Amino acid sequence: METIEIGTSGIIASRIALGTWAIGGWMWGGSTDIGESVHTIRSAIARGITLIDTAPVYGFGRSESIVGMALSGGLRERAVIATKGGLEWRDGKIWRNSSPARIRKEVEESLRRLGTDYIDLYQVHWPDPLVPIHETAATLAALLKEGKIRAIGVSNYSAAQMAQFRQAAPIHSVQPPYNLFEREAEVDVLPYAAQHDIAVLCYGALCRGLLAGTITAATRFKGDDLRRKDPKFQEPRFSQYLAAVAALDRYARERYGLTVLALAVRWVLGQGNTIALWGARRPAQLDPVNDALGWKLDDEAKRRIDQILLQIVKDPIGPEFMAPPQRGDAGALPASLAA
């Protein structure tokens, strides 16, 4: 496994991290089996994946509880637990809330569910326009001092928001959406992170499964699966993205003897101090992990990839549909539409 320090925290983590949103059984088409989920997390650790990313909102506590279960019995010390705070839910709706009181309450609940007395990396899930950033930052700085958390992260923050935050607390990591198809973070988040020694946890490294290469035009998503609303999965875009995946897969096989999945993860790992978040809920999904490790894409490959995307994806779109509303927003989305 390749490893990296999370900013200047002194914490060393694997560069591939396990994403446990689907394990929470919310917005990924229904409830997951607890035994299989526990097995997936333990299988990740056995493969050298030490960073486990979760959040209270992933199944409203369920993902965190399953992570706690999986790490009980001696694995806690081997894992770097990354969880989040700053989203609130009631009656099936979620809102942003990064107030000091909310963060304090969430940290205690996360510690209880995770069965631990410290969180390695605590991340503000989404910026909250109703709470001054320095108040949220000061709360995290206090939690760091108290030893309840070992490092501070933000997620879905812009560079300007990070700059404000850093006036009251250090930032060790940022978590933006970032993958071959979703590159908005290149505008200011990645450069800011590089400049200030901040690790980048890239979420959606497989673009919600598209870049795993197994989704076809015949794939149907069930129940509350977010891809039923994701604009990338609706025509006419869906066909364009599938055609791009097929072309990237052909290129990966010809040039490296690997699949598009390995190419996509390796591409993320080649973009600086990055960590690729890989969402999995079955142990076998992690079988290709080693294919993404120990090699580099050269400039020619990067150019070819960009050419393929430019030629095929005529109408690109980002992951903005996932942004949760602020409190009191008349348009507040039901939980099944926001994450």
How far is residue 144's CA from residue 146's CA, in Å, rounded to a whole number?
Answer: 5
Report, in Å, the least distance between residue 205 CB and ligand NAP.
5
What phi and psi, each to the nearest 5 degrees, are found at residue 119? -110, 130
Report, in Å, the least distance between residue 254 CB and ligand NAP.
20
Angle between helical axes of 100-114 and 62-71 (0-180°, round to 10): 40
How far is residue 115's CA from residue 38's CA, in Å, rounded to a whole number?
Answer: 14
How far is residue 250's CA from residue 246's CA, in Å, rounded to a whole number?
Answer: 6
Applying CB under 6 A, which of residues 203, 238, 241, 267 lies at the interface with ligand NAP? 203
Element (H, E) at 250: helix 237-256
By CB under 6 A, how many residues form the interface with ligand NAP? 26
145 vs 156, beta carbon nearer ligand NAP: 156
| Tokens 């002194």, located at residue | 10
Angle between helical axes of 237-256 and 299-312 (0-180°, round to 10): 160
- Residue 12: strand pairing partners: 5
Per CB under 6 A, 339 contacts ligand NAP: yes
Q: Are 327 and 86 in contact (CB under 8 A)?
A: no
Q: Which residue type is seen at 68?
A: G
Per CB under 6 A, 212 contacts ligand NAP: yes
Per CB under 6 A, 205 contacts ligand NAP: yes
Report, in Å, the least distance between residue 166 CB and ligand NAP.
19
- Using CB under 6 A as the binding rule, the residues of this chain from 120 to 139 that contact ligand NAP are 125
Applying CB under 6 A, which of residues 214, 219, 290, 307 lies at the interface with ligand NAP? 214
Which residues, including other chains, have CB under 8 Å from residue 284's CB and lie 6 or more apart? none
- Using CB under 6 A as the binding rule, the residues of this chain from 253 to 292 that contact ligand NAP are 277-281, 285, 288
Q: Which residue is nearest to ligand NAP (CB)?
A: 19
In sign, the C-alpha dihedral spanning 105, 8, 51, 120 is negative
Report, in Å, the least distance between residue 220 CB and ligand NAP.
12
Q: Using alpha carbons, select from 29, 92, 26, 31 the residue that is nearest to residue 228.
A: 29
Report, in Å, the least distance between residue 225 CB and ligand NAP.
8
19 vs 56, beta carbon nearer ligand NAP: 19
Site mask for ligand NAP (CB under 6 A), range 60-99, x = bound: ----------------------------------------
Applying CB under 6 A, which of residues 150, 166, 208, 266 lies at the interface with ligand NAP? 208
How far is residue 99's CA from residue 336's CA, in Å, rounded to a whole number?
Answer: 23
Point out the residues that are catalytic.
58
Per CB under 6 A, 21 contacts ligand NAP: yes
Report, in Å, the least distance between residue 206 CB and ligand NAP.
3
Q: Using alpha carbons, select from 88, 112, 104 the residue that is nearest to residue 146.
A: 104
Rule CB under 6 A: which residues touch ligand NAP? 19-22, 53, 125, 155-156, 175, 203-209, 212, 214, 277-281, 285, 288, 339
